[in-house]
Each structure stands twice: as C-alpha cells, then as structure tokens.
C-alpha cells in the first residue's frame, strides 16, 4: 500500500483544524462585540446619571468571555453535540457583564433603563435579590439579545448581565473561593455561617439604601426622575 506524503497529511490536518477553528473564532468575535455593546450602553447610562445626580449608579463594570474549555465542558455536561449551532442555541453565558452598584435601587434603575432601549430584547430575568438562593446568594440576572452589525448584516447575540451591590459581590467572591476548596472540613457549618453572612449583608444594603434616601431627601425611585430630566421620551405605561 502506498503511503501518503507526510506533507500532504500535515496539510489535510491543518485544513481540518481551520474548518473547526475559524467558525469558533467567528462565534467568539460575535459574542465579544455583543458584550462590548452592552458595556457601552451601561457606561453611557452611568455618565448621564452622574451628570444629572452628581453620583454614579455603578462603581465598576467587568466583562468576560467564557473560556473555550469551559464552553466544551458545559456542552458535554448538558449532553449536546459540540457544534457552533448548538453553542449559540443552548448557551446564554458565553458573553458576560457584571455591574457592581453601591445601592440596590440603582440596580433596578439601570436594568429598567437598559431594557427600555429599543434594540435590546429580554430573554430571561431572575431576581435573586428579592428571592435569594438557599445558600444566601443575591444578585439580579438578565439575559438579553443585542444586535451586532457585521459586514454580512445584523445578527442578534445573547449576553448575560449580573447586577450586584458591592456587598453582594464581596460575599459571592468569598463564597466561590471557599466552596471550591478541596478536602473542605466542616462544610455544613461553613455553609450555615456563609448564609448568616449573606443575610447580614442584605440588612446592611437595606440600611445603606435608607441612609441614601435620607441624604437625598427623596424616597421616589431615581428611574422616574431620570426620565423626567432626560431628553428621551418617558417609557410607555
């Protein structure tokens, strides 16, 4: 039997690799663009809010694209064939944005204003502030679709957005670090203490919100006043 030329075999393997890699890189580029679009929209709202009220509704904003190995692991864990089409259809957290706010009121204000933009489509909303997870986790999650404009035309891509207060983010970071420790002793008692900490942090967030209201002399949500002071028309009832 005649053996294939080693160079030809290498070229075939390279072509197969390119057939897999290029579509994946294209997909990741699309989600990166969608992520940056959401981040830009939130920064614009932050700048306008600061101009109107002399304070910013969020302290920091972080963006992340899911690592390829994490994407593959999640697809296999869920039992889906690993294809680009399945990744786009089944995964909503390839692109992620995390917004860290000072006050709970600002979380809901920002989320409402973002969702009112006519090119944003809400896919899912989960309010873990009003309805915390059993372990005490609190955060406000949105999954949205946002348009990405490419040379071939407009496409819609999903982005997961997490809104947290500074205190909620501090707790979640510690919880994640502790829970993934190997050979963790006294796991149940630690989980109970973490739950107590989450409840205490929630009470502190509530007190800080009350103090803000007393300082600003206004118990009405900022969203209403933001609309009244903005050039944009108010949201429809």
DSSP, res 152: T
Confidence (pTM) = 0.81
DSSP assignment of 24-52 equals: HHHHHHHHHHHHHHHHHHHHHHHHHHHHH
Catalytic residue among 59, 85, 160, 188: 160
- 160: annotated active-site residue: yes
**The Cα angle at residue 26 between residues 23 and 30, in degrees rounded to 5:** 140
CB crowding 121-146: b at 16 or more within 10 Å, else e: eeeeeebbbeebeeebbbbbbbbbbb
Strands (E) located in the chain: 58-65, 95-101, 121-127, 140-150, 153-165
Distance from C-alpha of 90 to C-alpha of 23, rounded to nearest angstrom: 17
* Structural tokens at position 225: 């006043």
As a dihedral over the C-alpha atoms of residue 222, residue 39, residue 67, residue 30, rounded to 10 degrees, the angle is 130
Q: Is 224 helix (H, G, I), strand (E, B) or coil?
A: helix
Q: What's the pLDDT tens digit per position in 147-190?
A: 999 999 999 999 999 999 999 999 998 888 777 666 667 777 88
pLDDT of residue 191: 82
Nearest to 144 by CA among 122, 125, 161: 122
pLDDT tens string 51-108: 988 888 999 999 999 998 899 899 989 999 888 999 999 999 999 999 999 999 999 9
């Amino acid at each position: 039997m005649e053996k294939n030329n080693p160079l030809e075999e290498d070229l075939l393997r390279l072509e197969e690799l390119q057939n897999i890699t290029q579509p994946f890189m294209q997909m990741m580029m699309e989600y990166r663009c969608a992520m940056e679009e959401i981040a830009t929209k939130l920064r614009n709202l932050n700048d306008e809010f600061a101009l109107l009220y002399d304070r910013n509704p969020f302290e920091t904003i972080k963006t992340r694209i899911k690592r390829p190995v994490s994407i593959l692991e999640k697809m296999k864990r869920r039992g889906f064939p690993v294809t680009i089409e399945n990744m786009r259809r089944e995964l909503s957290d390839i692109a992620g944005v995390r917004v860290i706010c000072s006050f709970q009121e600002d979380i809901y204000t920002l989320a409402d204003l973002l969702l009112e933009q006519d090119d944003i489509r809400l896919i899912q909303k989960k309010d873990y502030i009003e309805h915390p997870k059993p372990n005490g986790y609190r955060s406000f999650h949105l999954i949205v679709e946002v348009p990405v404009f490419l040379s071939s035309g407009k496409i819609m891509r999903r982005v997961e957005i997490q809104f947290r207060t500074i205190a909620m983010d501090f707790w979640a970071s510690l919880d994640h670090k502790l829970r993934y420790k190997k050979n963790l002793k006294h796991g149940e008692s630690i989980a109970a203490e973490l739950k107590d900490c989450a409840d205490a942090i929630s009470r502190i967030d509530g007190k800080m919100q009350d103090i803000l209201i007393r300082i600003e002399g206004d118990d009405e949500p900022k969203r209403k006043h933001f609309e009244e002071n903005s050039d944009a028309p108010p949201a429809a009832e």
